[in-house]
């Protein structure tokens, strides 16, 4: 399904529906605010929206499926009615939420755990939706979050291997490559040194994975990596959009076409 969408750069607008988002702190929990933000993202050039109702920021509380769906249900209904031509992606790790989202009009499931849960993998097999599968490192039911400033030098080898494992998991389940975008997972269980090594290795990633650059989703928007790389680690997330735009331009130069982003500039 991705071939038509990625014939030109695809900016997927992030719409956070959580009260504890790292980037906007609950500004769009109310359906009317969410709809206004969705319209703004579409007007700015987003050709898809990615809705998330469970925060994945460092230290975020785990959310159960019922709570997650309660945050999503009315927003999904408003979006499908007001913006019927705009594809929707649902950022969830819960199969029950994903299935209800697909029934409500979602066309893509974005799983930050890389479809590691059997129920999510089974859902991916049963529904012909698009998939975004991310590399991440887990600790129990949450994300592994090592000290970000760990100065130990790193390479991108471990992240490459983990992303290859995500690819192989979906292939092993019989899911066609053409349904899938892979996401390297910047900041998900990585230190700054690991994120930097991964970023600098992005030109080699498609060949290393035997996977085309236009089916790799870059999720770097407002990440602390950008502020740390720029030498301003205390820069608040909402003020990192210029850094995000510059990073997108660099990745576009390497052949990448798909970006999840909070703002399009």
Largest interatomic CA distance in the chain: 50
Indicate the average pLDDT of the chain: 92
Cα 49 from Cα 195, distance rounded (Å) = 25
Contact call for residues 124 and 107 (beta carbons, < 8 A): no
Report the pLDDT averaged over residues 133-158.
83
pLDDT tens, 54-88? 876 555 577 889 999 999 999 999 999 999 999 99
- Alpha-carbon 156 to chain mean position: 19
**Structural domain boundaries in the chain:** 2-261
Q: How many residues are recorded in the chain?
A: 265
> Residue 21 above 60 pLDDT?
no
C-alpha gyration radius of the chain:
17
Question: Half-sphere exposure (CA, 13 Å, Cβ side) for 13?
Answer: 24
Which CATH number describes the domain made up of 2-261?
3.20.20.20
Pairing of β 130-134 and β 108-111: parallel
> Residue 25 above 80 pLDDT?
no
Q: Which two tokens stand for residue 93?
A: 């790790």
pLDDT tens, 123-138? 999 999 999 999 998 7
Using DSSP's 3-state secondary structure scheme, residue 87 falls into: coil
Report the pLDDT averaged over residues 214-223.
97
Per-residue confidence band for 232, with pLDDT thresholds at 50, 70 and 90: very high
């Amino acid at each position: 399904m991705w071939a038509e969408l990625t014939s030109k750069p695809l900016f997927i607008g992030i719409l956070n529906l959580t009260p504890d988002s790292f980037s906007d702190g609950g500004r769009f929990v109310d359906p009317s605010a969410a709809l206004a933000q969705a319209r703004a993202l579409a007007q700015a050039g987003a050709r898809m929206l990615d809705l998330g109702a469970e925060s994945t920021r460092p230290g975020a509380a785990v959310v159960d499926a019922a709570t997650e769906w309660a945050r999503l249900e009315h927003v999904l209904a408003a979006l499908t009615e007001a913006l019927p031509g705009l594809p929707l992606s649902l950022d969830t790790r819960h199969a029950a939420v994903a299935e209800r989202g697909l029934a409500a009009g979602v066309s893509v499931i974005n799983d930050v755990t890389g479809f590691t849960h059997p129920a999510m993998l089974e859902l991916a097999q049963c529904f012909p939706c698009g998939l975004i599968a991310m590399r991440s490192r887990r600790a129990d039911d949450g994300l592994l979050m090592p000290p970000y400033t760990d100065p130990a030098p790193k390479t991108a080898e471990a992240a490459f291997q983990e992303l290859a494992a995500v690819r192989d998991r979906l292939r092993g389940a019989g899911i066609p490559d053409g349904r899938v975008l892979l996401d390297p997972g910047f900041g998900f269980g990585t230190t700054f040194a690991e994120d930097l090594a991964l970023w600098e290795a992005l030109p080699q990633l498609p060949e290393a994975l035997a996977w085309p650059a236009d089916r790799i989703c870059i999720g770097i928007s407002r990440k602390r990596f950008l502020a740390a790389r720029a030498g301003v680690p205390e820069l608040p997330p909402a003020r990192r959009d210029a850094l995000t735009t510059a990073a997108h331009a660099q990745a576009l130069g390497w052949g990448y076409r798909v970006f999840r982003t909070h703002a399009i500039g």
